[in-house]
Amino acid sequence: MITDNMNEILDELPEGVKLVGAAKTRTPDEILEGVEAGLKIIGENYVQEAERAFQAIGDRVKWHMIGHLQSNKAKKAVKIFDMIETVDSIKLAKAIDRACANIGKVMQVLIEINSGEEPQKAGVLPEDALSLVRDISELKNIKIMGLMTMGPFTGDPEDARPYFQKTKRLFEEMKEMNLPGVEMVYLSMGMSNSYKVALEEGANMVRIGTKIFGERQYD
């Protein structure tokens, strides 16, 4: 089933769009089936789950952190991940920067935008994003590579469209500014139910779980 799902998704994704397989709750065997069917990037929400999967699968794929990262987990996270998509504060960025300096790594990150401006959600508010990007771009062991957003979740992907548009506008504005040390390359938006809308609104990285691996038993 995972193989069929992967074939279907890979067939319809436009050229140049990166597929991140959102692997939360999946076993290393399930993830491996995805990898054998062509999945090249694994997205993990928790450092501990990522460690377990990484032990089984290793660096034949790229690993992206797509869940909220606590600063005190940065040291473990930087060993595994190739990209952290969820940087939303200078505190977290500094923790990643320090941990990377210790192991001689430069971490690619995306800035997570709270595009729905929902108080309970992670991400920096759109109006605060530029100053955060400027501050983080000073850090030597971090490279900002783009933006990520979740958008409000209602079950109807059309409801997410204005928030994808808002994030895309921010992405383009920052790209045009040519900020030193910043490369606006990736715009990570869209999940199983919303990635088609996200692609229409300019996403070039989508994070898909359910449509690859099936319904989750728990979250």
Ligand X SMILES: *Cc1c(COP(=O)(O)O)cnc(C)c1O
Binding site for ligand X (CB under 6 A): 22, 24, 45, 66-67, 150, 191-192, 207-211
Minimum CB separation of residue 23 from ligand X in Å reads 9
* Cβ nearer to ligand X, comparing 66 with 147: 66
* Cβ nearer to ligand X, comparing 134 with 211: 211
Closest to 189 measured CA to CA, from 215, 167, 156:
167
| b/e code 179-217 from CB counts within 10 Å (16+ = b) | eeebebebbbbbbbbbbebbbebebbbbbbbebbbeeee
DSSP state of 70: P
Minimum CB separation of residue 154 from ligand X in Å reads 13
Minimum CB separation of residue 14 from ligand X in Å reads 18
Give the Cα separation of 112 and 150 in Å (integer): 8
* Cβ nearer to ligand X, comparing 107 with 208: 208
Pairing mode of beta strands 41-44, 18-22: parallel
Residue nearest to ligand X (CB): 209
**Distance, CA of 68 to chain centre:** 10
Minimum CB separation of residue 192 from ligand X in Å reads 3
* Cβ nearer to ligand X, comparing 108 with 141: 108
